[in-house]
Structures are given as structure tokens and as C-alpha cells.
Amino acid sequence: MPVVMTVEELRDYLAKEFPQAYGPSKPNKIVSVGPGTAVVHFTAGERHLRPGGTVSGPTMMGLADGAIYVAILAVIGPVALAVTTSFTCNFLSKPAPGDLACEVKILKLGKRLVVAEASIRGVNDEEPCAHVVATYSIPPR
């Protein structure tokens, strides 16, 4: 799985296509990409919290979905219409507000489907707070 988009190319592309999530001063930050991998950090502020002061499930799911998309784009190129077709999230613990890290690994890259997993944790935590497995559909190339 060779990398066809660099971190800078991904940042520029996503800032243009998804400015609400990846534009300047937005909470999603692409840290690295590799052959079938990606790391995205997210700064969870007050608006991302649920009652009790922990990061909400929808926030973590959005982080994982976006980070998996980053890993896919890194190996297939700028395909805006790659879409999520299946998404399963297991919440393992309650993350505190602050910086989260989402580490992605592509498990299978097919012609039309991609299966990937993501692990989310606080940037200073050893153990994950969520684990995701997702499938994306890729338009014909």
C-alpha cells in the first residue's frame, strides 16, 4: 500500500473539501500517514463533552470516521466520494477533555471496499478509550 498523498497534501485537500473539520483553527490535526496507517489528533473542548465532563460518543465516532478517511485518502488519492458503509464503535473508557489521538490501520484495501480499524486514546494515556471497525465504499477508479 504505497502512500500517494503526503500529510501536507491531505491537510490542503481536507481544508478545502471539509473546512468545518479540517480548516485552520479546527480541532482535527493530521499528524502522520504511512502505508495503510494514519494518526489524527483532536482537541476536545467544552462543546464536545457530555454530562459528567467526558468526551461524547458522537465526538469520538466523528474523530474515528474522519481519521479512517485520512488513511484511505493517503493510499488511494483525493477521492471525495469514498463513503462509510459500516461503522462499529466500542467505548472502553471515559476520556477526559483535551487532546485525543486516533490511530488507524487499514486491514484490507480492495477495489471497491476498504476495511479499517481505529483506536482512540488520550494523547498521554496508554489504554484506548474507544475501538472502531469500519468499512468504506470507494467509487470506481
pLDDT at 33 (0 to 100): 98
What local confidence, expressed as pLDDT, does residue 96 receive? Answer: 87
Measured CA to CA, the distance from residue 128 to residue 8 in angstroms comes to 27
Say what the pLDDT of residue 56 is: 95
Residues of the chain with pLDDT under 70: none
Q: Half-sphere exposure (CA, 13 Å, Cβ side) for 93?
A: 13
Query: pLDDT value at position 73?
Result: 97
SS3 28: strand
Q: Is 128 helix (H, G, I), strand (E, B) or coil?
A: coil
The DSSP symbol for 93 reads: S
> Which domains are delineated in the chain?
7-137 (3.10.129.10)
Q: What is the DSSP letter of 97?
A: S
- pTM here? 0.94
Q: DSSP of 31-77, one letter per residue?
A: EEEETTEEEEEEEE-GGGEETTTEE-HHHHHHHHHHHHHHHHHHHH-
